[in-house]
Structure 1
Amino acid sequence: MENKEGKLGFTAFAENWNGRLAMLGFLIGIATELMTGKGILAQLGLM
């Protein structure tokens, strides 16, 4: 039997992109907080 890797699910390609996008989102959140002087929850009106 051949061992075929699926295109959906927890593949190395998907995990790499997930990690990269998470790091980018975190960096954008920190930059926005530094520019506005408000935390993320305050910007969303939750505090």
Structure 2
Amino acid sequence: METRETRSSTDLPAVANAYNGRDRNEFLFGWTPQAELWNGRLAAIGFLAYLLWDLAGYSVVRDVLHLIGY
């Protein structure tokens, strides 16, 4: 069984600190490059969740179009 080495946030590769001197996967609040990465990740999860919901037969878009008469 392979063991993985963990690193402290001060011992990261140079590319991990390329944005603003912080770990690019660190969860930071505010207008930071890390926030944009997390925003994109969560948006992708939300889109996938909606797609699966729609494929299961529950379509918000179809229901709204039906309500307004299309």
Deviation at residue 23 of structure 1 after TM alignment? 0.0
Instruction: Name which structure has the greater RCO, CA cutoff 8 Å, separation 6+.
Output: 1
Q: Which has the larger radius of gyration?
A: 2
Q: Pairwise CA RMSD of aligned residues?
A: 1.7
Deviation at residue 20 of structure 1 after TM alignment? 0.5
Deviation string 1:1-43 (CA, Å, 9 cap, x unpaired) is xxxxxx621x11100110011000100010001111x53312x
Higher normalized helix content (fraction of residues): 1
Q: Are residue 41 (structure 1) and residue 61 (structure 2) matched?
A: yes
Question: Unpaired segments of 5 or more residues in structure 1?
Answer: 1-6
Report the number of matched residues: 37
Question: Unpaired segments of 5 or more residues in structure 2?
Answer: 1-28, 66-70
Q: TM-score, normalised by structure 1?
A: 0.62
Q: TM-score, normalised by structure 2?
A: 0.45
**Could you list the runs of 4 or more consecutive aligned residues of structure 1 that deviate by over 4 angstroms after TM superposition?**
none
The answer for the alignment partner of 1:29 in structure 2 is 50
